[in-house]
Amino acid sequence: VAPPRREATFEAAPNIALIKYWGMRDVARGLPYNSSFSVTLDRLRTRTTVRWDPTLPSDRFVLNRAPVAGPAADAVSRFLDLVRAMAKVTDPAQVVSTNNFPEASGLASSASGFAALAGAATASAGLRLSGRDLSRLARLGSGSASRSIFGGFVEWRAGRRPDGRDCYAVPALRASHWPELVDLVLLVGGAPKKEVRSALAMQTTVTTSPAYRARLAAVPKRLARLRSALRRRDPRAFFPLVIEECDEFRHVCETTDPPLDYLTSTSRETLAAIRAFNDARAEPRAAYTHDAGAHVHVFTLRRHERALREKLEAVRGIERILRLRPGPGARRLARAGQA
């Protein structure tokens, strides 16, 4: 009898944070200071196949059909070490990953990447993890990956315990909760490659930004307001909140020493265009947010989309607009995409 194929394929999508994760109380365990909240997106995805293979000399990582070496491959191997310890296996693994969106675009691929890897590596090793356990594991690859395990609107609970048992993401609202809501992702030309990994950059903010403490004090109330705005599908509450949080995130980055500046002039013009779009009417019609990168996510309602796109046409340097909606969480594929 042939031995079982120790192989599994998972798909996972990036997420965009509405309440940001920025700063860890425990770096080794990947434990954040504050809870965060995001939307898992549709259409974009990482697909990853993991195969454990005793004949390999060491782990092998292939991304978009090209073998990877260096820090990215080391991060994958360290993550596999965690799975080896859990599953009590010692074999090397081959990891084959493809993104259906360009990494060069700077769209967060670490969240979808580690969420898909957590699923594929554990399933192929014969482990059956709950969503909560998968989220805890994915967190150790990249904090935001903890949220991409689930679809729709997701909250990552910071927890209080030093061992991190109570630190994991939970689904908050379904992807279909607010059918009117769309996310226009504006891909900004000339976006610089990240110089410092987010995990390092955020710790510099913790130790140097004079605004960081006030931010931590403000997040819990903002999170409660966000949950309520979303539950009620209330654009008047939702859009200003998303902007408020993004502005505060940018402020703690800019007051970091040395300052962290992720935006280009096009990104900044986009933020100004959205503010003007909202100021033109009595009620807010859109919100912008961005992560540690130059691309801008603009949330709006379907009924404002045409007017918004017209407004954005005046902004130079937007290369492409992706129209995304909330999407599904990480899931196993039945023997698809095998290398």
User: Which residues of the chain form contacts with ligand PMV (CB under 6 A)?
Assistant: 17, 20-22, 36, 108, 110-111, 142-144, 198-199, 291-292
Q: Which is nearer to ligand PMV, 110 or 267 (CB)?
A: 110
Answer whether 158's CB lies under 8 Å from 33's CB: yes
Q: Which is nearer to ligand PMV, 111 or 120 (CB)?
A: 111
Helix (H, G, I), strand (E, B) or coil at 44: coil
Minimum CB distance to ligand PMV, residue 298 (Å)? 17
Minimum CB distance to ligand PMV, residue 140 (Å)? 11
Minimum CB distance to ligand PMV, residue 142 (Å)? 4
Residue among 221, 256, 262, 223 at smallest CA distance from 23: 256
Minimum CB distance to ligand PMV, residue 57 (Å)? 30
Between CA 288 and CA 22 the distance in angstroms is: 18
Minimum CB distance to ligand PMV, residue 245 (Å)? 10
Q: Which is nearer to ligand PMV, 40 or 300 (CB)?
A: 40
Q: Which is nearer to ligand PMV, 40 or 144 (CB)?
A: 144
Strand ranges, E, within the chain: 7-12, 15-19, 24-26, 31-32, 36-40, 46-52, 60-63, 66-67, 93-99, 153-157, 168-173, 181-188, 286-289, 296-301, 318-324, 331-333
Q: Say which residues have a Cβ less than 8 Å from residue 125's Cβ, sequence separation at least 6.
A: 6, 52, 83, 84, 86, 87, 89
Token pair of 35 as six digits: 């809870």
Helix (H, G, I), strand (E, B) or coil at 11: strand
Token pair of 68 as six digits: 């990877």
What angle separates helix 131-141 from helix 71-87, to the nearest 10 degrees?
A: 140
Minimum CB distance to ligand PMV, residue 294 (Å)? 12
Token pair of 297 as six digits: 């996510």
Q: Which is nearer to ligand PMV, 7 or 155 (CB)?
A: 155
Q: Which is nearer to ligand PMV, 89 or 241 (CB)?
A: 241
Q: Which is nearer to ligand PMV, 63 or 108 (CB)?
A: 108
Between CA 191 and CA 168 the distance in angstroms is: 31
DSSP lists the bridge partners of residue 171 as: 154
Minimum CB distance to ligand PMV, residue 309 (Å)? 25
